[in-house]
């Protein structure tokens, strides 16, 4: 989950590298580095900490590489930061070289000295040893020995104007931008200034030299590529563009829903009609927040379409008995479209004959390339590590998909379908409730743990609220089906223990209230979120938040917003940076 960039620019490339790294920072922010090739060889600056630590670095030269790191092998430190040097080579790497220990032992036995604890330095050494003036061949030879996943960008001291990059299971693009020709791990980092880009596929190599970008296959045969303009709305603002990205992105939920609804209305579902009509069961695969949206999809598809949905976290899908068969519909959800576990699950499902519908924010992502049909949500660039607006848009896309399924199966749309377009204004109304949430966060800032509960369609909201609080506010939080409370978790509830109940499903109000009564009778602090006047007025909760009213099936899209914001506020109360949560980075491209 590191970000990599390489530039061959018209003038000096240092500024372009730094700018791209600021936009790539969500990929990891424990260290960052730049190497620029100038007349006197390499100038390298690499430092533990964020990209801003490189702000004072400048070196003349039009060829360079940059990296922002999320540590896997070797702690965050100056020496483990990329670029790594070996002989005439400087390299940046995203991925994990799984056989690095064996390769390192072999190289050490042959006299090589390592300066870092990273797996990446092993590749730099291998390239350096293979290099005889032809950088492409040297990279090809070295990577032939690496197992695992990689996207690398490499420059050589005696080859100004040239970058060689390669990809295997970690994303890589190449393109032309205002500043020159580049390779990069992420489209959002370059989308704003890019003219045209093309994607490298697994096993491919890219060479930028003599003002051209050439792609090669695993046998170094040239591969023709279609260059395309990246989705402009994916252009990422740097994380220091003013205010916190997470807050900005929560505020963008109504606009993101509006854009997504318009895009869905223009989507032609006919190409997947057969798969939607014929599906007797659905596998929904995703990770983290996206997995929670899969849970919401299950609710709608089972209730309204009558098709069983098996939700599986993508990382587990491939290790379960492979039950997917021809005719099964596989719904894969991923904001980035680059999450390694989700991609592997989709590959497996396809091998077994499943028809894959992807829901992603990146229409040109690896997931979109693998899927049989792709629904592109229009959340816009999501830079904060914690997913917020993309979750709301995923729900909208998945419900729309469920509605299309029902249409193709029974030629009938569910009643709530037309209500989907009310989501943006309901989201706006919800945002106006934030001052109430500020007060709750203020009163709970010292809480050491908390529960989030919900039943039926509200369970996904409970789980998502808990995930946000964990990752952003660093407070232990558990999201539970409310009915489970009495089967064990109640043991922790004591004086002041916070319990957030989302209750938006009318048949379950009484059951939810019972759970809150159990909390209150043990002295716990109960907060209730509901759209129902009746549920709120009859509740024993300490704090009651009235949500805007929508058809119950759609409430998860709205009910989650106060919880997203609560996590953000708790994070600020505790003096943390919501855009740089501990130990996390966005777009998990390693398994």
User: Would you tell me which residues interact with ligand F6R (CB under 6 A)?
Assistant: 287-290, 334-336, 339, 342, 386-387, 467, 471, 587-588
Ranked by CB distance to ligand F6R, the top (closest) residue is 288
Looking at the Cβ atoms of 124 and 572, the one nearer to ligand F6R is: 572
Q: How far apart are CA 255 and CA 509, in angstroms?
A: 31
- The bridge status of strand 449-454 relative to strand 476-481 is parallel
Q: One of 2, 13, 393, 397 is an active-site residue; which one?
A: 2
Is there a contact between 389 and 253 (Cβ–Cβ < 8 Å)? Answer: yes
Which two structure tokens, joined as six digits, stand for 193? 């200034």
Name the minimum Å distance from CB 388 to ligand F6R: 8
Residues in CB range of 57: below 8 A, 6 or more apart: 14, 18, 34, 43, 45
Greatest alpha-carbon pair distance for the chain in Å reads 79
Residues in CB range of 221: below 8 A, 6 or more apart: none
Question: Is 460 tagged catalytic?
Answer: no
Name the minimum Å distance from CB 385 to ligand F6R: 6
Name the minimum Å distance from CB 495 to ligand F6R: 31
Q: Give Cα 446 distance to the centre of its chain.
A: 29
CA distances in angstroms from 358 to 329, 514, 551, listed in the order given = 11, 39, 26
Is there a contact between 64 and 36 (Cβ–Cβ < 8 Å)? Answer: yes
Q: One of 199, 470, 580, 586 is an active-site residue; which one?
A: 586
Q: Which of 8, 14, 21, 38 is nearest to 181 (CA)?
A: 8
**Cα end-to-end span (Å), the chain:** 10
Name the minimum Å distance from CB 361 to ligand F6R: 8
Looking at the Cβ atoms of 379 and 536, the one nearer to ligand F6R is: 379
SS (H, E, C) 246-287: HHHHHHCHHHHHHHHHHHHHHCCCHHHHHHHHHCCCEEEEEC
- Residue 150, SS3 per DSSP: strand
Q: Give Cα 278 distance to the centre of its chain.
A: 31
Query: Judging by beta carbons within 10 Å of its beta carbon (0-12, 13-18, 19+), is residue 442 exposed, middle or buried?
Result: exposed
CA distances in angstroms from 196 to 16, 153, 226, listed in the order given = 17, 19, 9
Name the minimum Å distance from CB 106 to ligand F6R: 35
Which two structure tokens, joined as six digits, stand for 122? 């092993």
Name the minimum Å distance from CB 470 to ligand F6R: 9
Residues in CB range of 575: below 8 A, 6 or more apart: none
Name the minimum Å distance from CB 565 to ligand F6R: 14
Q: Which of 210, 239, 206 is nearest to 5 (CA)?
A: 206
Q: How far apart are CA 238 and CA 541, in angstroms?
A: 41
Name the minimum Å distance from CB 581 to ligand F6R: 8
Name the minimum Å distance from CB 338 to ligand F6R: 7
Looking at the Cβ atoms of 237 and 590, the one nearer to ligand F6R is: 590
Question: Is 287 tagged catalytic?
Answer: no
Catalytic residues: 2, 586
């Amino acid at each position: 989950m590191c970000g990599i960039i390489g530039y061959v620019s018209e003038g000096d490339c240092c500024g372009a590298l730094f700018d791209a790294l600021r936009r790539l920072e969500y990929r990891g922010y424990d260290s960052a580095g730049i190497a620029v090739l100038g007349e006197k060889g390499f100038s390298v600056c690499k430092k533990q900490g964020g990209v801003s630590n490189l702000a004072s670095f400048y070196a003349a030269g039009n060829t360079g590489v940059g990296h922002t790191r999320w540590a896997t092998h070797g702690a965050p430190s100056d020496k483990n930061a990329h670029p790594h040097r070996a002989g005439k080579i400087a390299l940046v790497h995203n991925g994990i070289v799984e056989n690095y220990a064996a390769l390192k032992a072999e190289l050490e036995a042959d006299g090589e000295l390592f300066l870092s604890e990273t797996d990446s330095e092993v590749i730099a050494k291998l390239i350096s040893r293979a290099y005889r003036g032809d950088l492409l061949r040297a990279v090809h030879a070295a990577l032939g020995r690496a197992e695992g996943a990689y996207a690398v960008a490499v420059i050589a001291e005696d080859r100004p104007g040239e970058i060689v990059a390669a990809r295997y299971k970690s994303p890589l693009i190449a393109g032309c931008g205002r500043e020159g020709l580049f390779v990069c791990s992420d489209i959002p980092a370059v989308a704003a200034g890019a003219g045209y880009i093309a994607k490298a596929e697994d096993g491919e190599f890219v060479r930028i030299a003599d003002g051209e970008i050439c792609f090669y296959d695993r046998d170094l045969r040239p591969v023709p590529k279609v260059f395309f303009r990246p989705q402009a709305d994916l252009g990422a603002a740097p994380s220091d563009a003013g205010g916190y990205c997470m807050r900005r992105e929560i505020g963008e939920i109504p606009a993101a829903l509006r854009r997504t609804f318009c895009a869905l209305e223009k989507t032609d579902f006919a190409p997947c009609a057969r798969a939607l009509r014929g599906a007797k069961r659905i596998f929904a695969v995703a990770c983290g927040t996206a997995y929670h949206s899969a849970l919401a999809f299950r609710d709608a598809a089972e209730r309204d379409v009558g098709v069983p949905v098996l939700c599986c976290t993508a990382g587990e899908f491939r290790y379960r008995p492979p039950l997917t068969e021809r005719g099964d519909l596989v719904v894969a959800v991923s904001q980035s479209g680059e999450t390694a576990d989700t991609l592997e699950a989709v590959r497996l499902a396809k091998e077994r004959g499943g028809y894959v519908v992807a829901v992603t924010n990146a229409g040109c992502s690896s997931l979109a390339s693998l899927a049989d049909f792709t629904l592109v949500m229009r959340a816009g660039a999501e830079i904060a590590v914690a997913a917020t607006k993309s979750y709301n848009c995923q729900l909208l896309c998945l419900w729309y998909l469920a509605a299309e399924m029902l249409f193709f199966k029974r030629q009938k749309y569910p009643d709530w379908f037309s209500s989907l377009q009310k989501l943006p204004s309901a989201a706006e109304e919800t945002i106006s409730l934030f001052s109430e949430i500020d007060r709750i966060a203020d009163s709970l800032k010292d809480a050491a743990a908390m529960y989030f509960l919900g039943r039926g369609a509200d369970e996904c909201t409970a789980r998502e609220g808990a995930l946000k609080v964990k990752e952003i506010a660093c407070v232990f939080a558990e999201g539970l089906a409310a009915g489970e409370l009495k089967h064990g978790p109640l043991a922790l509830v004591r004086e002041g223990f916070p319990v957030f109940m989302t209750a938006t499903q009318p048949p379950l109000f009484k059951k939810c209230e019972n759970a809150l009564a159990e909390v209150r009778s043990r002295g716990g602090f109960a907060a209730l979120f509901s759209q129902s006047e009746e549920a709120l007025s009859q509740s024993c909760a300490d704090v009651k938040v009235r949500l805007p009213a929508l058809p119950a099936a759609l409430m998860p899209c709205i009910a989650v917003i106060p919880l997203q914001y609560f996590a953000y506020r708790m994070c600020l109360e505790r003096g943390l940076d919501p855009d740089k949560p501990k130990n996390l980075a966005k777009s998990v491209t390693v398994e």
